[in-house]
Amino acid sequence: MSELFLELFSEEMPPNLQCYVRETLLQNIKNFLDKEQIKYDGYNNCFSTPNRLVIYFKKIEKEAIRASQEFRGPSVKSSEDAINGFINSNNISKNQIYKKKINNEEFYFYKSPKKKIKTASLLQNEIPEIISRIKWKKSMKWGEYNLYWGRPLKSIMALYENKVLKFKLGHLHSKNITFIDKDYEDKTKSFKNYKSYASFFKKSGILINHNERKKYIENKINQISKSKNLKIHLKDKLLEEVTNIVENPNIILCSFNKQFLDIPQEIVTITIENYQKFFPLYDQNNNLTNYFIVVSDSRDIKGFIKKGNESVIDARLSDADYFWKKNRSQNMLKQISELKKINYFNGLGTYYDKSQRLKKLGGHLSDVFLLSKEKIEVASSICKVDLLSDLVNEFPELQGLLGGYFAEVQGFEKEVSTALKEQYLPTGPNSNTPKKNYSVALCLTDKIDTLVGFFGLGMIPSSSKDPYALRRLTIGLVKIIVQNKKNLKLKEIINYSCQLYNDQSKQFDNKIILPKISIFIIDRLKNLMKEKGIRQDIIESSVLEKNIDKLTSIFSKAEKLNKIIDKQLGKDIIENYKRASNILNSEKDKEDSEILGAADPGLFQNQFEKDLYKKINEIKKNFTSISIETDFQAQLFLLASAKKEVSNFFDNVQVNDEDKILKKNRLQLLDMFCKTFDNYINFTKVDTQ
């Protein structure tokens, strides 16, 4: 067994490309080794620094074994030419073929001997192929070369059994040397194996292994923040990114001018984290401090690096501070009419039009949510005003939030400013949904208005295209309703929203829009249920009606049923139902007239029929009693409790009575039974598993 060691040296590769190419390259080489049945064990991995991509397999078998293989040639009856053709194409002589019978016909065969192939020669041929097969998400050309790579590729080092694997990739020839100074590319050095290579770089502080580098940075950051009695809220994504933009990490504690702590905290953290890739520090009470950590790519011998980075943050924050002071004092109410200048979307009017619609829609919701109509109308009217501000222009990701801050400063009520801050929630799959009623109302009206508008324009997402992210928006809508357990007459709200567009002379037909939006919303509900691990058959059964007025109860019922479906309780319910529905279904079609209406108790012949009838009525009554109307758990218990009556009925009563009237009456009884169950969910498609 011997070591395989490759290094691809390029100009600075962006972090996401590094991650992608690391995984792809390692996997492709493994696939190749597996395909060729070349054994490898021990350690293997792919590492990277911004300039170096390294593949390392500790042990690969030096020879690949090709098992003996039998090839079928032409029939013995074939012409001489055909037989010679078989012999020549396998590069063998006539005495190496033999006859064998298959299905009464005789053929010539040839068995190739077991062979050993040098791994080195296989690697030599295949590695350039594997490398050039990488499918870059984004790649480039440079100079006059024809090679494509993430960034200009400068050299290839390829070693196996401590010797160079000689190949060509575009204009580059593989060697056993690489550049050891990443910037000037003046100095080269030859290496024999990965160990000597890694330790050579380690001496100058360069950690080739990115996992090691990440750990090193994390430890150092923690050490420094602890020594200052400060805390760090380490985000793995940022740490990962920083790891991939340095090779020689050096951790520097810096600070910015304290006066900038008066700016909304999100502006400061975005500036520090997103724009500069630094780490902000917090005090023991998790308040942001003016300290931050910079991970530089070299030692700060003269102190220039610290100073430079500090003044960059100061400059950026002073720019933000300038706008913050300017924008926060611009009266939001007075700016509403300026929203007329900003187009919301072609065909949907300006942001002023939108906020006027939101105001009315919010007013409509105020009754349902028991909100002050005035407050929600104010919130709706000013919620888009921050789009006019310089700060949102600078920090578009903070829209909404900044509006909330402006409102706070200008003395709007807390509910209003919070609603503004939270109006775009949830922003992603892991983001929170709003909980406060004013926020919920504003979030919902905004999303409904958007949805109705785009559906009104016929811009309905297709399976592959959703340029305005309406799916994400609608998942948010469903989540907000379901997680806050809101019972909303969504159809009515959508119709009203449509009406509001019509009032602004946008001719949308709610009869066309509503069914389409309903299906779209129900599909998102299904996604959400799937995400929560609810069984597919339960999901399908719960949404048969496509009733968007009942999103919360559909979701809760399915969730509760899913919890017990595999337990005894669940099995009882399904069995009770299936026994009744099976007979009902098989007999239904044979009946001349439809089975309609309730069973007639006067026709009951025995106690078992009466008991079941009584039970059905008991369930029905309880279902509509206020106490358990929304207690789906209790409803399930109630359904399961019919077990005794159902068993007794089927064990003792012949449904298929000769007397057609009695038979029909019994079928009607079973129909009543099933319909009662279907009040919870349509159980037809739910299975016991």
Partner 1 sequence: MVSKKKNKIITFQDTILKLQNYWSQKGCIILQPYDMEVGAGTFHPATTLKSLGPKSWKSAYVQPSRRPSDGRYGENPNRLQHYYQFQVIIKPSPDNIKKLFLESLKSIGIEHQDHDIRFVEDDWESPTLGAAGLGWEVWCDGMEITQFTYFQQMAGIQCNPISVELTYGLERVCMFIQQKKNVYDLIWNKEGLLYKDIHLETEKQFSKYNFEIANSENLLKIFEILENEAKNLIVNKLPLPAYDQCLKASHVFNILDARRAISIAQRAEYILRIRELVKGVGEKYLEINS
- Contact positions vs partner 1 (CB under 8 A): 11-12, 14-15, 50, 138, 140-144, 151-152, 154, 183-186, 245, 276, 278, 294, 296-298, 300-302, 304-305, 307-309, 311-315, 318-319, 322, 341-343, 345-346
Beta carbons within 10 angstroms of residue 245's beta carbon: 17
Please, where are the H alpha helices in 396-509?
A: 401-409, 414-422, 437-456, 470-483, 490-503
554/574 Cα distance (integer angstroms): 18
388/323 Cα distance (integer angstroms): 12
The CB-of-398 to partner 1 minimum distance in angstroms stands at: 18
**CA distances (Å), 2 to each of 61, 584, 604, 612, in order?**
7, 72, 86, 78
The CB-of-183 to partner 1 minimum distance in angstroms stands at: 6
452/343 Cα distance (integer angstroms): 17
Beta carbons within 10 angstroms of residue 388's beta carbon: 19
Report the first-to-last Cα separation within the chain, whole angstroms. Answer: 50
The CB-of-322 to partner 1 minimum distance in angstroms stands at: 6
The CB-of-132 to partner 1 minimum distance in angstroms stands at: 18
> Considering beta carbons, is residue 22 or 550 the nearer one to partner 1?
22
> Considering beta carbons, is residue 186 or 236 the nearer one to partner 1?
186
The CB-of-156 to partner 1 minimum distance in angstroms stands at: 14
> Considering beta carbons, is residue 244 or 439 the nearer one to partner 1?
244
549/352 Cα distance (integer angstroms): 29
> Considering beta carbons, is residue 12 or 587 the nearer one to partner 1?
12
271/395 Cα distance (integer angstroms): 9
642/613 Cα distance (integer angstroms): 11
508/511 Cα distance (integer angstroms): 9
> Considering beta carbons, is residue 80 or 304 the nearer one to partner 1?
304
The CB-of-243 to partner 1 minimum distance in angstroms stands at: 14
410/327 Cα distance (integer angstroms): 11
The CB-of-416 to partner 1 minimum distance in angstroms stands at: 26
User: H-helix or E-strand containing 4?
Assistant: strand 2-10
The CB-of-319 to partner 1 minimum distance in angstroms stands at: 6
> Considering beta carbons, is residue 76 or 315 the nearer one to partner 1?
315
Residues β-bridged to residue 293: 253, 279
> Considering beta carbons, is residue 276 or 547 the nearer one to partner 1?
276
Please, where are the H alpha helices in 232-343?
A: 236-243, 265-269, 304-328, 332-335
> Considering beta carbons, is residue 98 or 142 the nearer one to partner 1?
142
> Considering beta carbons, is residue 345 or 623 the nearer one to partner 1?
345
The CB-of-75 to partner 1 minimum distance in angstroms stands at: 55
CA geometry: angle 191, 193, 195, nearest 5 deg: 110
